[in-house]
Amino acid sequence: MIPRWLLLLAAFLFSVLLGLGASSLVLVAVRIPVIETFWTMFDGAAGSWSALESSLVFTEPIAFTGLAAAVAFRARVWNIGGEGQMVMGAFGASLIALQTTLPAPLMLVTAVGCGIACGAIWGGLTAALKVWLGVNEVLSSLMLNYVAILWVQSLVYGPWREPGGGWPYSEYFPDTARLPSIGSELDAFVIAAPLLALALAIWLRFSRSGFEISVVGHSHDAARYAAISVSRVTILVMLISGGIAGIAGIQQVCGSAGRLYVLTPGYGYLGILVSWLAGHNPFLVLVMSVFYGIIMQGGASLQIAQIDPSLVRIFQAAIILFALAGLTLASRIQTRPRSKVVDPA
Amino acid sequence: MNAAFLVSMLATCVAAATPLLLAALGELVAERSGVLNLGVEGIMLVGALTAVAVTLATGTVAVGVAGAVLSGMALGLLFAFLTVTIRADHVVAGLTMVLFGDGLSSFAGHGLVGIDVRDSIHALPLPLLSNIPALGPIFFRQNILVYFSYIMVAGVWYFLYRTRPGLALRAAGEKPSAIDVAGWNVFKIRYLAVIFGAGMAGLAGAFLSVAYLHSWAEGMTAGRGWVALALVIFAGWHPVKLLGGAYLFGFAYILIAESQVIGGVFFLISTYVMQMFPYVMAIAVLAVMGRESVKRRSGAPAALALPYVREER
């Protein structure tokens, strides 16, 4: 019997190949040289150490939003609000960095803490709406994404806009509120991501609440039978998920940017897809976010080679579409009899 | 604010609500058959772009709109294949569709941003009806797609509640094994429902680009696809209630656009904060509905987002 993980790995790799195949059809259709394009992407994203470092810049936020999604999805709580929770994390950190004058070590710690708290509150809001008012979390977390983005826009186009600056940026943060840098483009959180993944893996696997999350994720009825409060678990995972997504936002403003701006959209949504591809396993989330970082940096290198970088979004979607089909089919091979999951999103 | 201004403002609300109504009606049918298509936003984007591209290429807006519907249906076919045949997770498949539609439309639409569609859809006042005081100017001096949306509300209602295939479709979303035993093909029903829904989303996108804003812009749907999804829940999966919900949201959109004109208290609020209004309203509305549904039956199809496996019935 082939081990299950090998089967899934093979299915994933095969799906990626099919996705790249479909992408090359698109390239052929618009008369862009196929091999040259893929080589440009690979060379620019993984061809050298400095290229890999640039890829990790994209990996960092995706790793955090991916871990955030994994925590919620394990309980089958559909937190689609990673984007908004990330943006609120950036806001929370900026609030401390711009509006207070704290001494050196305290400044950064408080900014990070406030960012995580803001992300957690934003996630908790979705949980509260679901638990007490019966609002579907997919929609409420999504709507809150737009609210969070507009909130930060209102700040950077309004009261927090750099005096005399023409662009929607805040003033630069004081150095005390900046993350220590690693290499030329990365910051200290690149180390925090694997540590967090490890902590989450241990917590989810060995703690009581980690077990409760799995039970709720498998069956609400089983959870109730075991006297596990579905509401409590929902609130718990949304707070944690929101807080972790907040870290992605903190990293973007306290890292190399060093000020608040309208964050590049999409990391929150990518985190969801990465988490799903990783089967909500924290370590695999890291692997997948590195994979994604490479694809995104590959897109950036296309831009340098004067090829339309939005091509890469088609590549991403093609790869995910095939991976979705491939992994769904592969996971069915050995899992019969299937357990019926009755939990409409 | 005088009466004439109010009437013209309400008329713009109806126009602003139409893409929401079209997309939500389609999604309602898909969800009633048991398939949750979260990809509406992406399909609308592809529809909006296709309408502009085809209209510019052929010079005829009708062909452009037809192209948009077809492109939506093609994406619907893909989505149905993923969710009904392969039985992939509906939520993940839906998000992937959004990513796909967003990427595809922004790549293919690069050269078309901001180009004015010369042949766009214009208002077509209906004889007699448009002369009714107040109601005429609000509802019957619109374009043909708006009239189509009225017909579709009635049509979807009639189909779902007064025909046998409509009953079968609703049953497919409630208890697919029952309808299978009764001799209907659950897979076929769900495929058709999803393709219809996606075609309507494509049409909604076309409305935005060739009948409302008259050009293509990247990400021009700006969350309307997601609002349409919220509307379906708000309406308790009922097509007629959808009408009221859509107009409420059309009003919210117009309130933002006109806030500077109306002045007064709105002038003090930042435009960004004003733009939050539809989203906050959507959550509030869902919260009110949620409380209701705790008390009563919410109307959500029992088999929504659950794959149907014949061998396990």
Is the minimum CB–CB distance between B279 and chain A shorter than 8 Å?
A: yes
Which element (helix H / strand E) includes A187? Answer: strand A186-187
Residue B143 gets the label, from left (phi > 0), alpha (psi -120 to 50) or beta, of beta
Q: Which of residues 244-273 of B touch A (CB under 8 A)?
A: 270, 272-273
Mean pLDDT across B99-119 = 83
Choose among A143, A147, A273: nearest Cβ to B96: A273
How many whole angstroms separate alpha carbon B116 and alpha carbon B76?
28
pLDDT above 70 coverage of chain A, percent: 96
Of the listed ranges A109-113, A269-273, A315-319, the one predicted with least confidence: A315-319
Q: Measured between beta carbons, which residues in chain A are less than 8 angstroms from residue B36?
A: 344-345
Give pLDDT, residue A96: 94
Over the stretch A117-171, which tens digit does the pLDDT of each residue have? 999 999 999 999 999 988 888 888 988 998 999 999 989 988 888 887 778 889 8
Mean pLDDT across A103-126 = 94
List the single residue in B with minimal CA-CA distance to A337: B312
Of the listed ranges B144-148, B227-231, B234-238, B271-275, the one predicted with least confidence: B271-275
Residue A328 Cα to chain centre, angstroms: 22
User: CB distance A310–B305 less than 8 Å?
Assistant: no
CB pairs under 8 A between A and B: 138
Give pLDDT, residue B142: 81
Over the stretch B56-104, which tens digit does the pLDDT of each residue have? 888 888 899 999 999 999 999 999 999 999 988 888 899 889 988 988 8
Reference B37, options B200, B154, B177, B170; nearest CA is B200
Of the two residues A339 and B175, the one the predictor is more confident about is B175
pLDDT class for B117, splitting at 50, 70, 90? confident
pLDDT beyond 80 at A340: no
Of the listed ranges A55-59, A217-221, A311-315, B97-101, the one predicted with least confidence: A311-315
Choose among B87, B283, B289: nearest Cβ to A143: B283
User: CB distance B290–A133 less than 8 Å?
Assistant: yes
Is the minimum CB–CB distance between A138 and chain B shorter than 8 Å?
A: yes
Number of C-beta neighbours around residue B159 at 10 A? 17
Tokens for A343, please give them.
């939990």
Q: What is the DSSP string of B250-297?
A: HHHHHHHHTHHHH-GGGGGS-HHHHHTHHHHHHHHHHHHHHHHHHHS-
Choose among B89, B99, B286: nearest Cβ to A269: B99
Give pLDDT, residue A341: 53
Q: Give domain limits for chain A.
A: 61-306
Mean pLDDT across A317-321 = 86
Choose among A80, A144, A310: nearest Cβ to B107: A310
Over the stretch A30-52, which tens digit does the pLDDT of each residue have? 888 888 888 888 888 888 888 88
Residue B145 Cα to chain centre, angstroms: 13
Reference B222, options B252, B265, B263; nearest CA is B252
Residue pair B35/B84 in contact (Cβ under 8 Å)? The answer is yes
pLDDT above 90 coverage of chain A, percent: 42
pTM for the model: 0.85
Mean pLDDT across A185-199 = 91
Choose among B92, B223, B283: nearest Cβ to A276: B92
Q: How far is CA B190 from CA A45, A269, B35, B70, in A?
A: 42, 27, 7, 18
Single-letter amino acid code for the residue at B253: Y
The complex's ipTM? 0.82
User: CB distance B279–A147 less than 8 Å?
Assistant: yes
User: CB distance A324–B89 less than 8 Å?
Assistant: yes
pLDDT beyond 60 at A279: yes
Give pLDDT, residue A344: 52
CATH 2.60.40 fits B8-312, yes or no: no
Q: Which of residues 197-236 of B touch A (CB under 8 A)?
A: 223, 226, 229-230, 233
Of the two residues B159 and A4, the one the predictor is more confident about is B159
How many whole angstroms separate alpha carbon A315 and alpha carbon A333?
27
Is the minimum CB–CB distance between A22 and chain B shorter than 8 Å?
A: no
Over the stretch B9-18, which tens digit does the pLDDT of each residue have? 888 888 899 9
Over the stretch B184-214, which tens digit does the pLDDT of each residue have? 999 999 999 999 999 999 999 999 998 888 8
DSSP B132: S
Mean pLDDT across B280-297 = 72
How many whole angstroms separate alpha carbon B99 and alpha carbon A236?
29
Choose among B100, B272, B300: nearest Cβ to A154: B272
Is the minimum CB–CB distance between A303 and chain B shorter than 8 Å?
A: no
How many whole angstroms separate alpha carbon A55 and alpha carbon A53?
5
List the single residue in B with minimal CA-CA distance to A331: B88
pLDDT beyond 80 at A244: yes
Over the stretch B14-65, which tens digit does the pLDDT of each residue have? 889 999 999 999 999 999 999 999 999 999 999 999 999 999 888 888 899 9
Tokens for B163, please give them.
């025909």
Reference A208, options A229, A194, A225; nearest CA is A229
List the single residue in A with minimal CA-CA distance to B288: A133
Reference A272, options A244, A250, A253; nearest CA is A244
User: CB distance A276–B89 less than 8 Å?
Assistant: yes
How many whole angstroms separate alpha carbon A158 and alpha carbon A272?
31
| Residues in contact with A70: Cβ distance below 8 Å, sequence separation at least 6, in sequence order | A200, A275, A278, A280, A281, A282, A285
Give pLDDT, residue B293: 59
Q: Which CATH architecture has domain A61-306?
A: Orthogonal Bundle (1.10)
Cross-strand bridge partners of residue B113: B216
pLDDT beyond 50 at A345: no
Give pLDDT, residue B311: 72
